Amino acid sequence: MTKNKRARQTKILSELESRPTLRVSELATRLSVSQETIRRDLDALTREGLIDRTYGGAMRRLNAEPVLNERQMQKVPERQAIARAALPILRGAQHLMLGSGATTTHVARRIAQEMRDITVMNHSFATATALALNPTIDILMVPGRYHPSEGAMHGAETVGFLETMRADWAILGASGLSSEGPSDVLLEAGSVYAAMARRAERTMIVADASKFDLVSPSSWARWARVDVLVTDRAPGGALAEALEQASVTVEVSKA
């Protein structure tokens, strides 16, 4: 029986990755809970915009988050400013792990402009392409299963490879930043980010303020594992309290 609500909802999303639609009765059997519990879970996931309800069941909402190519066109000034603010923190590092995403692609461009003679391990073709503009950067593309909409490698092979490596910094994005920690819409991305955070001496999250107080299905770290948040606006409320309690440094970019 899957008792934890978040674990159960993550399992529902995972089931919907392999099958386009599932019925309430089928999900209840698979997860060994009542149909009423499943209906409440489906209602919650619908409110988060991750699924669509169907008659007697649910289907995974396609592109619950805009694909990478679309996100690259959004909030460009904010992401450029975040990238500029991130680079001074990374000076002196020799080995980096870089996650996928629109903001991390902007960071990759700044790394290519400002850093030399470093190694960057990444699973995103967009970040690798940006880094390739600097011939002094050794780009290590990790293996895995290709995710077309994200342009990145995910899966057991990706995580297994990362577990054999180490880095000075992991630089990661997020779909949501809540008092519990960073999270991602893509379950596969969350697994990769968690591995990078484990294998790096320090972890930096780069994300704009639109991610504040949002919770996505894949919760991949607690704030205690994060060292720096680089963003475009100071957080407040419960998120700010959680960051302070975990001693996370918040760097606010300047336009």
List, for residues 95-122, the tens digit of each pLDDT value: 999 999 989 999 999 999 999 999 999 9
Q: What secondary structure does DSSP assign to 109-141, as a single string?
A: HHHHHH--S-EEEESBHHHHHHHTT-TTSEEEE
- The token duo for 85 is 């603010």
Confidence of residue 166 (pLDDT cuts 50, 70, 90): very high
DSSP label at residue 149? T
- pLDDT, greater one: 4 or 169: 169
- The token duo for 34 is 């009542």
Phi/psi of residue 244, each to 5°?
-65, -45
Region 56-84: mean pLDDT is: 70
Q: For residue 163, count other CB atoms closer than 10 A to its CB.
A: 11
Looking at the DSSP bridge assignments, the partners of residue 230 are 206, 251
List, for residues 203-245, the tens digit of each pLDDT value: 999 999 989 998 888 899 999 999 999 999 999 999 999 999 9
Q: Which of 4-13, 177-186, 194-203 has the highest mean pLDDT?
A: 194-203
Looking at residue 106, its pLDDT comes to 95
Looking at the DSSP bridge assignments, the partners of residue 97 are 121, 170
147 in Cβ contact with 153 (< 8 Å) = yes
CA distance 208 to 231: 5
Looking at residue 72, its pLDDT comes to 53
189 in Cβ contact with 225 (< 8 Å) = no
CA distance 160 to 216: 24
Looking at residue 63, its pLDDT comes to 46
Is the confidence at residue 21, as pLDDT, over 90? no
- pTM greater than 0.85 (yes/no): no
List, for residues 121-130, the tens digit of each pLDDT value: 999 999 999 9
Looking at residue 67, its pLDDT comes to 47
- pLDDT, greater one: 115 or 42: 115
